[in-house]
Homo-oligomer: A and B are copies of this chain.
Amino acid sequence: MFDDSYFRFPDSPAGLYDPLRYMIGIGGKRIRPRLCLLSYGLFREKPCPGLEDVAAALEIFHSFTLIHDDIMDRSPLRRGKSTVWKRWGEDAAILSGDVMLIEAYKRIVKAPEQCRMQVVDLFSDTAGKVCEGQQLDMEFENADFISMREYHDMIGLKTAVLLACAAKTGGLIAGASQEDCDALWRYGYDLGIAFQIADDYLDAYGDQQVFGKPIGGDIINGKKSWLTIRALEKNSGAAAFTEAFRAKDVAEVKRQYDSLGVPSDALAEIVRYSGSARSALDSINADCSPLEDFAEKLVGRVR
């Protein structure tokens, strides 16, 4: 479906570009380029010049954020492999991330001329928001209490806007109407929220082999995930949960989650947002089943 030649980077200096190849090479589900291509495919059968460059740009941008986030989060593993900073050191990870963002821009500007500025402006606006989301995520780590509203704003910026951008960009390149492009954006956004809650769920309840990271990582790192915030909502004033969370006691925190019914609440919320994502497609006068199937597969992994 997607030609990896769009992920080629210069050979030299190897110390700068090897981490880019590594990061693209360790896999990932290519969610953002696939979303862009599927959205495009709702309206047009044949790809057009620039489409795959733009799709690749979205993945390259996402990989850039992972390289830098992993430094900030001190994460040793990503997709079951060493993170870039663990393998090449922090300085190399900073610089390789920088050049990866530039490589993303080299491709995004290859959008067809008639929609280029819309695509590039949406991309830059989205990229800035992703940084804002990461900033809020870091600030939340030092905050005593985060409301569910604040959490949603944060994951909206950190995760959902990029999926929204990917879906809308496919529509823009296909020449879809403004209304259809906006519907695609809302689909991507709600799917992104569902996806992030699923990620938070899997961090505590997933299979390490599949998830690629140690289970309970969020608890160990004191991250205020959807599960934590929901537990605090249901259990305000009770010290047992707060104590277990402060002590980074994964087993006890999960016992508290279970007794509060947090996992089933999370599953219900994932279903609600993925349903809302699918509903956003109703107004589009095209067969949207590829995007419906995509949503199902993406968040269906929690079951």
Contacts and interface: CB of A to CB of B under 8 A. Distances in A.
A109 interface: yes
A134 B102 CA distance: 14
Given A102-B127, A102-B128, A106-B124, A134 B95 contact: yes
A126 to B, nearest CB: 9
Given A72-B94, A94-B72, A128 B109 contact: no
Interface string A78-102: 0000000000001110110111011
Contacts of A68: 94-95, 98
A131 interface: yes
Interface in A8-30: 10, 13, 15-16
A135 interface: yes
Contacts of A106: 121, 124, 128
B135 A13 contact: yes
Contacts of A135: 13, 15-16, 92, 95
Contacts of A136: 13
Contacts of A90: 90
Interface of A: 10, 13, 15-16, 68, 71-72, 90-92, 94-95, 97-99, 101-103, 105-106, 109, 117, 120-121, 124, 127-128, 131-132, 134-136, 138-139
Contacts of A117: 109
15 contacts: A10-B128, A13-B136, A13-B139, A15-B139, A16-B135, A71-B91, A94-B94, A95-B134, A95-B135, A98-B101, A99-B131, A101-B101, A102-B124, A106-B128, A109-B120
Nearest to A73: B91
Report copies per complex.
2
B95 A72 contact: yes
Nearest to A134: B95
B16 A132 contact: yes
A131 B102 contact: yes
B138 A91 contact: yes
B72 A91 contact: yes
A104 to B, nearest CB: 10
A101 B64 CA distance: 13
Nearest to A121: B109
Nearest to A157: B13
Given A92-B135, A95-B135, A98-B101, 16 more contacts: A13-B132, A13-B139, A16-B131, A68-B94, A68-B98, A71-B91, A72-B91, A98-B98, A99-B132, A101-B102, A102-B124, A102-B127, A105-B124, A106-B128, A109-B120, A109-B121
